[in-house]
């Protein structure tokens, strides 16, 4: 049996790169990647968090996940671009299409990263490292953005390899290379070691990935349980999981929320904000080919009090109107008339949309679905603002709020990568 060869292909600063390329292709003279710029939040109100950043932002100490407000303090001239989820989904799909030219075994792990099983393909496409450079350069030439590629004998090490040095790089990280390339790294750089775990390891003298790899596994199990054994195996490069062809993302739920630039104190405005959130959530639900059976609404007042309410649907749905109707009913039931600063909508208990059981008590489902899909198609082709509901005219509110992919839409890697 031939040795496994696995690629992990990761788009560099995906959201920002895709936004920059899209703007350049549509006549913009400024490449966002060459100036201090970020994707995230709202440029006018400075709300939200940083989702992606350009390399020039590093000298200002701006990090992914911090608030736009804090980032603007660090760099007043920072360019803030709102996220465009629909563009990112299109870029991700085209990205995947190129990878399929190199192997039939492709697994999408997140919106901007894929695993590729190159095992046996060297007989057709040649040396894996040479092929990886060719793939990297092809993506750069045809799509305009750069990727990092990690190459190894399993998915874990391939992923770790792609993180070694960025951007626009190819790295190998085979088991025999771990002692020089991976083990000297700080322990928190190991996949699976989060911010809460790293201090616990450091308190016990485990400073590097190598320290963790050479630790006594039973000691790790004493204070971290089975999780300790898992990260010990990761530190030793152990992973036998397969690249799962055409795997659908395992989605637990899809949510969207927004901080409103003014206090909302009337029902009509609140319902419009909920509609702008549902437009994004329902579109993403249809894009993922799921139906929802549960919707929840959350409210945060101007005094930061928070409460929420949820309800199940009589029949699973992906209809924008149906989800919005329930969301408004939930809101009306729980709102205590305080000024509102933040609203959120979330759908969960998802099921496949390949079969829908009509109900005698539902309105014309097929007509509603046809309308939703027609609107989705128009927006995909001509942009988010190409079609919107008349209720948003002169409202001072955006017709679609948010739109980034939540962390729950792709599963975290585990020992079963």
Question: DSSP characters for 358-374?
Answer: --TTS--HHHHHHHHHH
Q: Is the dihedral of CA 203, 204, 206, 212 positive or negative?
A: negative
Q: How far is CA 197 from CA 200, 201, 230, in A?
A: 5, 6, 13
- Reading the block at residue 394, the tokens are 């002169």
Query: How far is it, in rounded angstroms, from Cα 50 to Cα 30?
Result: 20
Tokens of 191: 């996949």
Token couple for 353:
């949309």
Catalytic residue among 113, 176, 189, 303: 113
- Helix ranges, 26-154 (H): 68-74, 85-99, 122-125, 128-143
Q: Which residue has the tokens 């690629």?
A: 7
Clarify whether 329 is annotated catalytic.
Answer: no
Residue 399 CB contacts under 8 Å (≥ 6 apart), including other chains: 276, 279, 384, 385, 388, 389, 392
How far is Cα of residue 37 from the mean position of the Cα atoms in its chain?
A: 19
Task: Tell how strand 253-264 and strand 170-172 pair up.
Answer: unpaired
User: Residue 60 has which token pair?
Assistant: 């200002």
196, burial (CB in 10 Å: exposed 0-12, middle 13-18, buried 19+): exposed
The token pair at 236 is: 């030793």
Quote the CA–CA distance of 105 and 243 in Å, as a whole number.
7
The neighbour count for residue 163, using CB atoms within 10 Å, is 17
C-alpha triplet 44, 263, 283: angle, nearest 5°: 65
Residues marked as catalytic: 113
């Amino acid at each position: 049996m031939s040795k496994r060869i696995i690629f992990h292909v990761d788009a560099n600063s995906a959201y920002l790169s895709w936004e920059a390329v899209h703007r350049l292709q549509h006549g913009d003279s400024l490449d966002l990647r060459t100036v201090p710029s970020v994707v995230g939040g709202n440029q006018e109100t400075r709300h939200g968090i940083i989702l992606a950043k350009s390399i020039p932002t590093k000298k200002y100490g701006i990090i992914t996940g911090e608030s736009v407000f804090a980032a603007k303090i660090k760099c007043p001239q920072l360019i803030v671009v709102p996220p465009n989820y629909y563009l990112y989904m299109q870029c991700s799909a085209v990205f995947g299409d190129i990878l399929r030219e190199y192997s039939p075994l492709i697994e999408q792990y997140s919106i901007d990263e894929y695993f590729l099983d190159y095992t046996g393909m060297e007989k057709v496409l040649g040396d894996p490292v040479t092929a990886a450079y060719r793939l990297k350069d092809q993506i750069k030439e045809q799509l305009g953005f750069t990727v990092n590629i990690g190459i190894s004998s399993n998915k874990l090490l391939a992923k770790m390899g792609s993180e070694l040095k960025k951007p626009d790089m190819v790295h190998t990280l085979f088991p025999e290379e771990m002692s020089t390339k991976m083990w000297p790294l700080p322990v928190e750089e190991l996949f699976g070691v989060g911010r809460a775990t790293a201090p616990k390891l450091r308190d016990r003298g485990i400073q590097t990935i190598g320290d963790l790899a050479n630790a006594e596994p039973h000691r790790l199990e004493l204070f971290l349980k089975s999780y300790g054994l898992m990260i010990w195996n990761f530190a030793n490069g152990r992973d036998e999981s397969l690249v799962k062809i055409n795997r659908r993302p395992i989605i637990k739920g899809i949510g969207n929320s927004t901080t409103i630039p003014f206090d909302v104190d009337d029902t009509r405005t609140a319902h419009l904000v909920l509609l702008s959130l549902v437009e994004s959530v329902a579109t993403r639900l249809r894009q993922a080919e799921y139906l929802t059976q549960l919707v929840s609404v959350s409210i945060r007042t101007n005094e930061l009090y928070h409460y929420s309410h949820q309800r199940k649907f009589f029949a699973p749905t992906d209809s924008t109107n149906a989800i919005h109707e329930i969301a408004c009913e939930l809101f009306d039931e729980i709102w205590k008339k305080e000024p509102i600063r933040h609203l959120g909508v979330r759908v969960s208990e998802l099921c496949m949309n390949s079969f829908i059981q009509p109900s005698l008590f539902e309105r014309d489902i097929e007509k509603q679905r046809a309308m939703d899909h027609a609107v989705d198609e128009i927006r995909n082709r001509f942009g988010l603002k190409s079609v919107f509901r008349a209720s948003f005219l002169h409202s001072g509110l955006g017709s679609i709020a948010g739109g980034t992919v939540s962390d729950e839409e792709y599963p975290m890697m585990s020992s079963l990568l």
